[in-house]
């Protein structure tokens, strides 16, 4: 594959090239689809793309976990029963059934990134996730969501 310099491309076509580069990069990563049990469901929010830090990573004050952090998993709910997981570069494609705890942790990660709204299959699920995220962030002295946060 030939490298392309973005500064040599017209402004109109830069977005197309960036989009293409992102798709090629995605194809080179390990991917998986998580399946929720029949009685459980994934939730979504206004910012459903969440990043799970690698196991054993120490938290730093001035350094967080981002999309390029080695060992981090990127999660995105696709439906109530499926969630996309994107890992480090590699050719692995997997399909895995999650247990109730796995779905709960995935939902908490999704809710943690919410800014304006969270949507789930029932009010009790969304309320319990919201209360847990609020409790954890309040212990850290952090406010959750924006001023227009809607839970429903």
**Where is mean pLDDT largest: 54-58, 67-71, 135-139?**
135-139
17 within domain boundaries: no
pTM: 0.73
13 within domain boundaries: no
The encoded tokens of residue 87 equal 């890992």
Domain encompassing residue 125: 26-151
Q: CA torsion 108→53→55→85, rounded to 10°?
A: 70
Strands 73-77 and 44-45: unpaired
1 within domain boundaries: no
Residue 93 · residue 26 · CB < 8 Å = no
120 within domain boundaries: yes
Give the Cβ contact number of residue 69 at 10 Å.
17
20 within domain boundaries: no
Residue 69 to residue 17: CA distance in whole angstroms: 23
Q: How confident is the model at residue 137 (pLDDT cuts 50, 70, 90)?
A: confident
Give the phi and the psi of residue 127 in degrees, each rounded to 5. Answer: -60, -45
For the chain, what percent of residues have pLDDT higher than 70?
71
46 within domain boundaries: yes
Q: Tell me, what's the pLDDT at 51?
A: 86
Q: What's the number of domains the chain is made of? A: 1
Q: Which residue has the higher pLDDT, 135 or 67?
A: 135
6 within domain boundaries: no
2 within domain boundaries: no
Query: At what angle are helices 123-139 and 100-112 packed, to 10 degrees?
Result: 60
For the stretch 4-22, pLDDT in tens is 444 444 555 555 555 555 5
For the stretch 97-125, pLDDT in tens is 999 999 999 999 999 888 888 999 999 99
Residue 148 to residue 126: CA distance in whole angstroms: 16
């Amino acid at each position: 594959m030939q490298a392309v310099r973005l500064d040599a491309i017209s402004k109109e076509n830069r977005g197309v090239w960036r989009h293409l580069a992102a798709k090629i990069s995605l194809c080179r990563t390990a991917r998986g689809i998580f399946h929720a049990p029949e009685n459980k469901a994934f939730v979504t929010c206004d910012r459903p793309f969440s990043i799970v830090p690698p196991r054993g990573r120490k938290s730093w004050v001035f350094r967080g976990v981002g999309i390029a952090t080695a060992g981090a998993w990127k999660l995105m709910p696709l439906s109530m029963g499926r969630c996309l997981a994107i890992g480090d570069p590699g050719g692995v494609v997997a399909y895995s059934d999650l247990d109730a705890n796995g779905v709960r942790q995935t939902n908490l990660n999704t809710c943690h990134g919410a800014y304006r709204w969270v949507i789930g299959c029932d009010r009790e699920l969304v309320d319990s996730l919201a209360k847990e995220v609020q409790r954890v962030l309040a212990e850290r002295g952090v406010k959750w969501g924006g001023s227009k946060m809607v839970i429903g």
